[in-house]
Amino acid sequence: MIPTYNGIMAISDDELNEKRDLKYYFTFVVLGVLTGIASSVFLHLLKLVTTTRFKYPALIYFLPIAMVVANFCYKKFSPISEQGNNLIIDEVHRPKRKIPFIMIPLIMFSTLISHLFGASVGREGSAVQMGGAIGEQLAKLFKHSKRKRAVLLMAGCGAGFGTAIGAPLAGAIFGIEAIYLNVKIKLSTFLECLIASYIGFYTTHLLYAPHSTYIRFTSLDFNWHWLWYSIIAGLFFGALARGFILLIDNVKSFIKSFGKPLLITFLGSLLLIMIYYVLDDISKQRYTGLGIDVIQQALVEFVSIKDVILKFLLTAISLISGIKGGEFTPLVYIGTTAGSWLSSVLTINPNLLAAIGFCVVFGAASNTPLACIVMGAEIFGHHILPYLIVAMIIAQIVSGKESIYSAQILKKINS
């Protein structure tokens, strides 16, 4: 019999815990919906600014001024937000600061400006930041504990990633794998990340968010020759990932000693324009923005090694200069074109190695191999998995423990 006080039925501890659990899981539903809405708005606007840039290519000449304005907004309104994904990762490991709400409009605005004026950056990293910042606001609103806040940050990042690329399962895994919590992770944590990621994904579908589409492998017979090609590709992709990380880290450290970040942004943007001009890319725009059309091309036909080298260089300049937007899509571009070019050297069909490169270069560079293997299955179909797994393992070994996320801490995850 449940005890009563003054005629009022008392609530048992089990009922209280059940209500707390419902409130906690409801938070992840809200997180998914809000992240899905934010990503949908972002993707629709990104499509608009990309179309505008192609229509008016002269906008690229205003890149230096636009980037200085965007970065000035960070320094004026929220300097801490400049740390981006590293701030969120650091707050999971060492919670001592608040992730400001203003990070959401700042990263959306600055990324859209970057794409409107032709910088070589991505979009998924921005969505990850928005999801993480939304998770922070919900943790504050519902007054969750530090541990629950950490899970919300993780789930928000995963939902942002999954909603941006249209791969919710990969998103849920990415949220855990990219951050490597410095605490024990229970299986329930994965469920919470899964809820946020899938709710966010279906929200983007309801809002007709424009996701990129790629080829899909409906069948793929196992072949030992292809396995050897995957090993060769893994070595190549791992070297690309390691080279990208080392270049960004070393040059950023060197430039940081000079100070004057806005001047560096201006000069870096100016250098981008000069390279675009020399390449006659102001009108062609093969290397500006996301380069989705080039990625789609590389999946079905051979492309030149020049595409790999130039996108690598232009993305490095953009990120070193402090231009916002993220690394995911440029690394996908680099990996896909690298796989296509390698296929031409090996005289084989470009489809498979290009698709593997799509997943592996970013996976190795971000220390998120499992998320990117799952992403490959979601985007290209499960038939790609045997070759993708082999290439990913090799690339991960070659690239080492370094990561594009400098705040990342490698830690064993307990189930």
Place of tokens 């992403």: 375
Spatial contact of 361 and 335, defined as CB atoms under 8 Å apart: yes
Per-residue pLDDT at 409: 62
Beta bridge pairs of residue 28? none
- What is the average pLDDT across 89-103? 89
CATH number, residue 261: 1.10.3080.10
What's the pTM value of the predicted model, to 2 decimals? 0.92
Same domain, 142 and 176: yes
Burial class (CB in 10 A: 0-12, 13-18, 19+), 164: buried
Same domain, 89 and 184: yes
State yes or no: pLDDT of 415 exceeds 70: no
Same domain, 159 and 277: no
**221, 227, 230, 234 alpha-carbon torsion, rounded to 10°:** 140
Spatial contact of 212 and 50, defined as CB atoms under 8 Å apart: no
Same domain, 154 and 186: yes
Same domain, 200 and 228: no
Q: Which of 174, 206, 238 is where one domain is finished?
A: 206
Same domain, 151 and 43: yes
Q: Please tell me the distance from the alpha carbon of residue 139 to that of residue 128, in angstroms, as a whole number.
A: 17
Per-residue pLDDT at 249: 93
Q: How far is CA 106 from CA 146, 195, 317, in A?
A: 25, 26, 21
User: Does the residue 379 lie in any domain?
Assistant: yes
Same domain, 41 and 132: yes
User: Does the residue 406 lie in any domain?
Assistant: no
State yes or no: pLDDT of 402 exceeds 60: yes
- What is the average pLDDT across 64-71? 97
pLDDT tier at 394 (50, 70, 90 boundaries)?
very high
User: Does the residue 90 lie in any domain?
Assistant: yes
Domain holding 228, by residue range, is 224-399
Same domain, 249 and 303: yes
State yes or no: pLDDT of 183 exceeds 80: no
Same domain, 190 and 239: no
Residue 260 — φ and ψ, nearest 5°? 50, 60
pLDDT tier at 212 (50, 70, 90 boundaries)?
very high
User: Does the residue 218 lie in any domain?
Assistant: no
Q: Which of 143, 171, 206 is where one domain is finished?
A: 206
State yes or no: pLDDT of 17 exceeds 60: no
- What is the average pLDDT across 82-95? 88
Instruction: Quote helix, strand, coil % in the chain, to nearest 5.
Output: 75, 0, 25
State yes or no: pLDDT of 192 exceeds 50: yes
- Number of residues written out for the chain: 415
Q: What is the DSSP string of 94-117?
A: S--S---TTHHHHHHHHHHHHHHT
State yes or no: pLDDT of 413 exceeds 70: no
User: Does the residue 2 lie in any domain?
Assistant: no
Ranges 138-147, 231-240, 279-288: which has the least confidence: 138-147
User: Does the residue 156 lie in any domain?
Assistant: yes
State yes or no: pLDDT of 331 exceeds 90: yes
Q: Which of 206, 238, 267 is where one domain is finished?
A: 206
pLDDT tens, position by position, 362-389: 999 999 999 999 999 999 999 999 999 9
State yes or no: pLDDT of 81 exceeds 50: yes
Ranges 7-21, 141-155, 167-181: which has the least confidence: 7-21
Same domain, 175 and 245: no
Spatial contact of 308 and 345, defined as CB atoms under 8 Å apart: no
**345, 351, 353, 358 alpha-carbon torsion, rounded to 10°:** 130
Per-residue pLDDT at 110: 97
How far is CA 254 from its chain centroid? 25
Q: Which two tokens stand for residue 234?
A: 């893994």
| CA dihedral sign, ordered 53, 57, 63, 69 | negative
Spatial contact of 110 and 129, defined as CB atoms under 8 Å apart: no
Q: Which two tokens stand for residue 134?
A: 């939304």
Q: Please tell me the distance from the alpha carbon of residue 167 to that of residue 232, in angstroms, as a whole number.
A: 27
Q: Which two tokens stand for residue 298?
A: 């590389």
Q: Please tell me the distance from the alpha carbon of residue 327 to that of residue 339, in angstroms, as a whole number.
A: 18
Contacts of 298 by beta carbon, 8 Å cutoff, 6+ apart: 307, 336, 337, 339, 340, 350, 354
Same domain, 232 and 339: yes
pLDDT tens, position by position, 241-289: 999 999 999 999 899 888 899 999 999 999 999 999 999 999 899 999 9
State yes or no: pLDDT of 122 exceeds 90: yes
Encoded amino acid at 170, one letter: A
User: Does the residue 7 lie in any domain?
Assistant: no
Q: Which two tokens stand for residue 103?
A: 């990070």
Report the run of H or E that residue 5 belongs to, with start and end: strand 4-5
Per-residue pLDDT at 13: 46
State yes or no: pLDDT of 8 exceeds 60: no
Look at residues 95, 187, 183, 79 and name the one whose alpha carbon lies nearest to residue 132. 95
Rg (CA), the chain: 22
Ranges 2-16, 110-124, 344-358: which has the least confidence: 2-16
User: Does the residue 217 lie in any domain?
Assistant: no
Q: Would you call 8 helix, strand, or coil by DSSP?
A: strand
- Structural domain count, the chain: 2
- What is the average pLDDT across 92-100? 87
Per-residue pLDDT at 185: 67
Same domain, 103 and 235: no
Q: Would you call 280 helix, strand, or coil by DSSP?
A: coil
